[in-house]
């Protein structure tokens, strides 16, 4: 038997309150990851429609194609910041 197999990496919960807190922590983390993933896929779809010319998604707020891509990249940066914040929160609250 190797050394890591002798001691479990996580200790079992010993109280109901501890188990509930761990469950809430896991739910918060997975919801954060899911939200960032869904928004990433949505932004990818918008980018593909914009790139192929299927539709001008940002035409109501930006007149030229350059302005429309500028709005897209601003949304991409906002998504990256949201993802970083979400993943940092997960790492900070990791037990």
> Which of 78, 70, 85 has the alpha carbon at shortest distance from 40?
78
Q: What pLDDT shows up at residue 53?
A: 79
Q: What pLDDT shows up at residue 8?
A: 59
Domain spans in the chain, listed from the N-terminal domain onward? 16-92
The DSSP-derived string for 31-76 is HHHHHHHHHHHHHHHHHHHHHHTS--TTTTT--SHHHHHHHHHHHH
| Confidence category of residue 2, pLDDT binned at 50, 70, 90 | low
Is the model's pTM score more than 0.95?
no
Residue 92 scores a pLDDT above 70: no
pLDDT tens-digit series, residues 38-82: 989 998 988 888 888 787 777 788 888 888 888 889 989 998 888
Q: Between 5 and 66, name the one with better pLDDT.
A: 66
pLDDT tens-digit series, residues 6-35: 665 667 777 888 888 888 878 878 888 888
Q: What pLDDT shows up at residue 77?
A: 92
């Amino acid at each position: 038997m190797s050394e890591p197999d002798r001691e479990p990496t996580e200790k079992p919960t010993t109280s109901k309150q501890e188990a509930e807190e761990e469950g809430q922590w896991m739910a918060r983390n997975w919801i954060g990851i899911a939200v960032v993933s869904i928004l990433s896929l949505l932004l990818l779809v918008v980018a593909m429609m914009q790139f192929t010319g299927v539709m001008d998604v940002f035409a109501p707020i930006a007149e030229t194609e350059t302005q429309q891509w500028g709005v897209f990249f601003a949304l991409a940066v906002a998504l990256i910041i949201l993802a970083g914040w979400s993943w940092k929160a997960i790492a900070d609250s990791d037990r």
